[in-house]
Structure 1
Amino acid sequence: MNDMFVVCGEALMDVYVLGTTPTGLQLDARVGGSPFNVAVGLSRLGRRAALLTGLSRDAAGERLMHTLSAEHVDTHLVVRSDAPTTLSVVSVDAAGVPHYAFYGQGTADRAIDDDSLPALPPEVRVLQFGSYALVVEPVGSALRSLAAREHDRCLVAYDPNVRLNVEPDLGRWRTTVEAMAALSHIVKVSDEDLGLLYPDSAPAEVARRWLSLGVRLVVLTRGARGSEAWTPCQHVAEAAAPVDVVDTVGAGDTFQAALLTWLDEEQLLSIAELEALDTQRLAELLRFAGRAAAITCSRRGADMPRRKELPGN
């Protein structure tokens, strides 16, 4: 297995406020970020994965780096800096309603620009882009330029993973999503994100527009209602795998990692092979990725499955 998957985007700490202490707050900080999770998920599923991100030299950045190494994710494309680590702070009020505070200005994961963007090794076969790193600067411009530059050499995959607590401007998100769709061969999106981005458009209408831009596979995840997939010639819907849900943290990231893994194992990671997928193969793809996501939902946090937990190979 010589081909490499490079996941591009943010890495951060999710900080949960557990309660108070006599002198302050009790906090539980956990490694996270959608692209970070996808890279770990790919590695656990047996893929050779690297993460292209910016990591701080602070204590949180060192913890993120340690986790990547422990999960066998290649760190040669990680750009280190003295900028702080992004923090996403989650607290719950007396009524049990969660509140989110995001601290990301001037942080390491958005500090990458065109000049500091690392060169990709020649064995990179797939570039996976995702989440808020594409809509913040300077990293957003750098990553979009990377997608444009590598579009004809690598297979480009994209998951918008809209985060309005980071960038509340839906217009900016739509502009970025449309630009990335025009540079991508695979787009995976949740029904929640589509509802935010295009509330007046049916999913099939959005999928057709993206396919007209050059996307070869559009996948829609619908949580407990399963998933759907479109190619230029085919459409298929698949029910969700049964699961006793503990939480859904990391489910979408797991689905994406499993989707790419299945295509790789089946030797279908090319534009021609994506276009030729029939309904049977599309259904197999959705079932595999859905099963992987269900395993994550059955566990606390973004605890993604390993390859031996899934059928086949």
Structure 2
Amino acid sequence: MTVPGDGAERSSTIVSAGEALVDLVPVEQRPAGTSGATGGALTPLAPRLGGGPYNVAVGLGRLEVPTAMLTRLSTDAFGDALLERLADSHVHTDLVQRGEEPTTLAVVTLDEAGHARYSFHVEGTADRLVADPGEPPMAALAVGTLSLLLEPGASMYTGLARRAAAAGTFVSLDPNIRPALVGDAAAVRDRLDAIAAVAGLVKLSDEDAAWWGREPEDLLAAGAGAVVVTRGAEGLRAFTTTGVVEVPADTSRPVVDTIGAGDSVHAALLAHLHDHDRLGRAAVTAMTGDDWRAALEFAARVAGWTCSRAGAEPPTRAELAHPAEQ
């Protein structure tokens, strides 16, 4: 396919680059007003496969967009399961590296509204030791989350994103900041600034923007093609060079939890851009308000589906097309 905005022939694949991990999620939610443990008994936890970039890859694959995952997986049972789910979701795995280091674990707690909070076990884990893949052919590169916080992988992913952008590849950034894992905050902000300045799309939450200290207008002025802000139940807002577009959250399905909601928005936005031949900075900056409204409504719908199921389980294209049959 031709990547809009640069005229070069490239692979149509979107590469999602970053961590793949296991979320340990409560089996059942405690009643409102109670803590996670009652009478000394701990809430049972079940393993669910996740990680921001991993969820984006799975989301794109299920939306039938050509997708590859760049990461390093453990050779343990969790790593095997992560690899198998990628294949089952139609994600190419030729860029996946393997190592004997353990899999990163994230312990999840849910409040009474189903909102997730995380604590991480990341020391010496496989995904942060990913090696530079060189220059893989791709139409777009999506980066973010823990992979931009933890060295040595963080520097590799930052360098890859900047090289990709310099070569005319569309770059998308989702900071998805986990403050508990931030060591040198100034270094992390500098890393995010460097990627955002060359990114065609920056997707972030209200919380990300507050921690980063960057308003959407600041990111646009620094060079980002467009900025999409997720605002939970208040919906989505796109900041572009021509104005601001806002859509409400999709409330057509009941919320089970919000795990992977932001990742589903990121995947859906990339899928929409892919479907409409807009995976390029020039194409994104040329989008009209109606174009952005359609993209945001699609992203809100996909996120609504994900929130209606336990864990990060984004919908397939068939589910979106035939919701009454699901």
Shorter-normalised TM range: 0.7 to 0.9
Matched residue type, 2:91:
V
Matched residue type, 2:70:
L
In structure 2, the CA distance between the partners of 1:25 and 1:170, relative to structure 1 (3 Å rule), is same
Q: Deviations over 1:17-73 (max 9, x none)?
A: 6699xxx99542111101100000000001011110110111111111111112121
Whole-angstrom distance in 2 between the partners of 1:92 and 1:286: 26
In the TM superposition, residue 176 of structure 1 has moved relative to its aligned partner by 2.4
1:135 to 143, 146, 149: 149
Is the 8 Å Cα contact of residues 132 and 167 (structure 1) preserved in structure 2? no
Matched residue type, 2:315:
P
| Counterpart for residue 105 of structure 1 | 123
Whole-angstrom distance in 1 between the partners of 2:280 and 2:81: 35
| Counterpart for residue 261 of structure 1 | 271
**1:178 matched to 2:188:** no
1:310 to 316, 320, 324: 320
In the TM superposition, residue 161 of structure 1 has moved relative to its aligned partner by 0.4
| Counterpart for residue 261 of structure 2 | 251
In structure 2, the CA distance between the partners of 1:286 and 1:82, relative to structure 1 (3 Å rule), is same
| Counterpart for residue 280 of structure 2 | 270
In structure 2, the CA distance between the partners of 1:69 and 1:233, relative to structure 1 (3 Å rule), is same
In structure 2, the CA distance between the partners of 1:16 and 1:258, relative to structure 1 (3 Å rule), is closer
Q: What TM-score, normalized to structure 1?
A: 0.87
In the TM superposition, residue 101 of structure 1 has moved relative to its aligned partner by 3.6
In structure 2, the CA distance between the partners of 1:308 and 1:194, relative to structure 1 (3 Å rule), is same
Q: Counterpart of 2:181 in 1: which secondary structure?
A: coil
Is the 8 Å Cα contact of residues 128 and 157 (structure 1) preserved in structure 2? yes
**1:227 matched to 2:245:** no
Select between 164-173 and 55-64 the one with higher mean Cα deviation.
Answer: 164-173
How high is the sequence identity, in percent, across the aligned residues?
42
Matched residue type, 1:303:
E
Structure 1 segments, 4+ long, off by >6 Å, are none
In structure 2, the CA distance between the partners of 1:245 and 1:138, relative to structure 1 (3 Å rule), is same
Runs (5+) with no aligned partner, structure 1 = none
Q: Kindly report which structure 2 residues correspond to 1:21-60, keeping only aligned pairs within 5 A, or say none.
A: 27-60=45-78
1:9 to 3, 15, 18: 18
In the TM superposition, residue 183 of structure 1 has moved relative to its aligned partner by 2.7
1:281 to 291, 294, 298: 291
Q: What TM-score, normalized to structure 2?
A: 0.84
Structure 1 vs Structure 2 CA RMSD: 2.6
Is the 8 Å Cα contact of residues 135 and 176 (structure 1) preserved in structure 2? no
Select between 40-49 and 7-16 the one with higher mean Cα deviation.
Answer: 7-16
Whole-angstrom distance in 1 between the partners of 2:194 and 2:19: 19
Is the 8 Å Cα contact of residues 261 and 306 (structure 2) preserved in structure 1? yes
In the TM superposition, residue 180 of structure 1 has moved relative to its aligned partner by 1.7
**1:71 matched to 2:89:** yes
| Counterpart for residue 88 of structure 1 | 106
Matched residue type, 2:236:
S
1:189 to 204, 207, 222: 204
Between the two structures, name the one with larger relative contact order (CA 8 Å, sep ≥ 6).
2
| Counterpart for residue 159 of structure 2 | 145
2:247 to 238, 255, 279: 238
In structure 2, the CA distance between the partners of 1:273 and 1:90, relative to structure 1 (3 Å rule), is closer
Is the 8 Å Cα contact of residues 127 and 155 (structure 1) preserved in structure 2? yes
Select between 172-181 and 132-141 the one with higher mean Cα deviation.
Answer: 172-181
Q: Deviations over 1:142-195 (max 9, x none)?
A: 111111111132100000001123226543432222122123111001112112
Matched residue type, 2:301:
R
Q: Counterpart of 2:269 in 1: which secondary structure?
A: helix
In structure 2, the CA distance between the partners of 1:141 and 1:168, relative to structure 1 (3 Å rule), is closer
Q: Counterpart of 2:179 in 1: which secondary structure?
A: coil
Whole-angstrom distance in 2 between the partners of 1:65 and 1:117: 19
| Counterpart for residue 303 of structure 2 | 293
Whole-angstrom distance in 2 between the partners of 1:177 and 1:60: 29
